[in-house]
Amino acid sequence: MKKSYRRVLNIAGSDSGGGAGIQADLKTFSALKCYGMTAITAITVQNTCGVSSILPLKPTLIREQIETVVSDIGVDAIKIGMLFDPPKLELPNVPIVLDPVMQAKGGAQLLKLDALEVLKSLFAKVLLITPNLDEASVLLGRKINKPAEMIEAGKALIALGANNVLVKGGNKGCDCLITSSEEAVWFKKPPVKTVNTHGTGCTYSAAIAAYLAHGLPLKTAIRKAKHYLHRALKKGSEYQLGSGHGPLYHFIGVSR
């Protein structure tokens, strides 16, 4: 009997620089022994210095990509990233991780400001949302920074319909998971001193989705994804690529 792949569908934008978005997610899936598939939502023109242009794809084309892939190949987990102008989506009943991408590291808007409510409507349909501090602040309309505020933000997003919320602390190295029962669980790693942080959020959420595709429980998937991300950041700090924010080293632990 032939083996089966662990299949992860990635619904996100394309990064021409290869450090974030679809490209970073596919590298992450491969590194974690999953078969990655894509539904591209937008094409971005960018490099390590920033985003210079965005071309969103038509909602019908986004939906057709999802339907065509799922109907033939199937899917074990889904990661949703940059949507820019979120379409109405019919999603399979599998673990889904939503990274509410809003702004690129250089400041470019990756989500239309009038699309915030559409994004929030997806919360109840997914297993986990993974906002960073800035994204949580926008979603809730107040500044989120301190650990106590991260816990309260997670609970507030649960109240908005989310099932589980991972509030990411960024360079503080601490992330807080608020579960559907409002339990707070912390995931901590020492901060990594590096400018090569492009695609960190994409990679983290993609890694969680990959581990969920392997059948791991949510907390275990997050813990292992946090460990993978930390190692990818450390190894990536040894490299120089471009003149801005370089990428992580996604293939950490994979033999050459």
DSSP category for residue 167:
E
* 202 noted as active-site residue: yes
Establish whether 168 is a catalytic residue. yes
Q: Are 8 and 75 in contact (CB under 8 A)?
A: yes
| Residue 139 tokens, joined | 């979603």
**Catalytic residue of the set 38, 41, 130, 197:** 197
Q: Which of 13, 199, 236, 246 is catalytic?
A: 199
Which residues fall within 8 angstroms of residue 217, CB to CB, at 6 or more apart?
A: none
Check 18, 202, 203, 246 and give the catalytic one: 202
Using an 8 Å Cβ cutoff, are 156 and 201 in contact?
no
CB neighbour list of residue 109: distance below 8 Å, 6 or more residues apart: 102, 103
Q: How far is CA 97 from CA 141, 240, 256, in A?
A: 22, 30, 30
Under 8 Å between Cβ of 199 and 247: yes
Return the sign of the alpha-carbon dihedral for residues 30, 123, 90, 109. Answer: negative
73 secondary structure, DSSP code: T
The active-site residue, picked from 17, 36, 201, 246, is 201
Q: Is 19 a catalytic residue?
A: no
CA pair distance 13, 15, nearest whole angstrom: 7
Q: Sign of torsion, CA 182 10 93 214?
A: negative
**Residues with catalytic function:** 168, 197, 199-202
